[in-house]
Amino acid sequence: MIRLNKGQKEALLSWVAEGLKTDEINKRAAKFKPRFKVSARVVAYYRKSRDVKLEEIKAADETSALNTGLALKENRVARLQKLADLLIDDLFELDLLWTDEVKGIGGADNFERIDYKEFNKAEVDALRGVLDDIAAEVGHRIKKSDVTSDGNPIQLNIVYKDKPNGDGA
């Protein structure tokens, strides 16, 4: 059996816990520093000898994935808010709502430079999209209104009054 250092063992255990096969493990191990390679027998040994531990690692990874990072609505909203703040600063603090543009008309002897302003539609659209995403994350956007009653269309009964007969009555 080959000797693995602590980092290699931890990596091997996590890859075994992921359910990777020997060839997949060796592809990752080839990129590991320092590189290593394991046989199918070594992988089987770690699967069998660390079976209980692997289940704990899997459970911890799943719990961690569900309770950290962008899996949490608060974190997604915070990131979106940072992006919105950057866009707002660009548009209003740096005064980029209208951008300075340059266009050249004509040829070498008859060239004219034209300076003009252009509305920054792309960045405004990006800001609107981010604000829409924030509203959707916090539940302030209803995507579809369902005007039904228990899944059935609402019945409207319209009653028409008789037309007057023309004699003023």
pLDDT in tens, the chain (169 residues): 568 888 888 888 888 877 888 999 999 999 988 899 999 988 888 877 776 465 666 666 666 555 666 567 788 888 889 999 999 998 998 999 999 999 999 888 888 999 999 999 999 999 999 998 888 888 776 666 666 677 777 777 888 777 666 555 5
Give the CA-trace dihedral at 140, 143, 148, 150, to 10 degrees: -80
Q: Give the model's pLDDT for residue 139.
A: 78
Joined tokens for residue 36: 């290593």
Q: Give the model's pLDDT for residue 67.
A: 63
Q: Give the model's pLDDT for residue 142.
A: 65
Q: Give the model's pLDDT for residue 45.
A: 84
Q: Give the model's pLDDT for residue 12.
A: 85
Angstrom distance (rounded) from CA 118 to CA 120: 6
Q: Give the model's pLDDT for residue 118.
A: 94
Asked if 75 contacts 69 with a C-beta cutoff of 8 angstroms, the reply is yes
Q: Give the model's pLDDT for residue 120.
A: 92
Count Cα neighbours of 61 within 13 Å in the Cβ-side half-sphere: 11
Q: Give the model's pLDDT for residue 59.
A: 64
Whole-number Cα distances in Å, 42 to 34, 61, 109, 111, 140: 18, 23, 77, 74, 54
Q: Give the model's pLDDT for residue 16.
A: 83
Q: Give the model's pLDDT for residue 56.
A: 65
